Amino acid sequence: MPDCLFCAIATGDIPATIVLDGKRTIAFRDISPQAPTHVLVIPRDHFADVAALAGAGDGLLEELVSQAHRVAVAEGIDGSGYRIVFNTGREGGQTVSHAHAHVLGGRPMTWPPG
């Protein structure tokens, strides 16, 4: 998808701090971390949001969630706990229209989020 920031990160055209590199997914640190661990997990292929990703129906969403868990293990927060967030649409707070999971942890997460 032209002009998509996360497509450009997936191809390496825009640099990011990679945490895990998968065949169909890639995990990198959020540029503006909201917690000690704040990693984004994206599919390499372009999907506008998590609903579109779910609609692909080929196990990619499941793979993305598994990769999010592997990030938590790699970051040492799987035991203490972590949050996986898919902001979706305008009022959901989605600012980048390429499906992505936020993996947040390393501090107690409040509920509800602001």
Give the active site residues. 100
The window from 25-33, 48-56, 57-65, 104-112 that contacts ligand AMP (CB under 6 A) reads 25-33
How far apart, in whole angstroms, are the C-alpha atoms of residue 73 and residue 113? Answer: 23
Looking only at the bridges linking them, the beta strands covering 25-29 and 18-21 are antiparallel
Per-residue binding letters, 51-90, with ligand AMP (x by CB under 6 A): ------------------------------------x---
1 binds, among ligand AMP, Zn ion, none (CB under 5 to 8 A by kind): Zn ion
How far apart, in whole angstroms, are the C-alpha atoms of residue 40 and residue 31? Answer: 10
Per-residue binding letters, 88-107, with Zn ion (x by CB under 5 A): ----------x---------
DSSP lists the bridge partners of residue 41 as 27, 101
DSSP lists the bridge partners of residue 104 as 38, 83
How far apart, in whole angstroms, are the C-alpha atoms of residue 109 and residue 13? Answer: 33
What residue ranges bind ligand AMP (CB under 6 A)? 5, 16, 30-32, 40, 87, 93-96
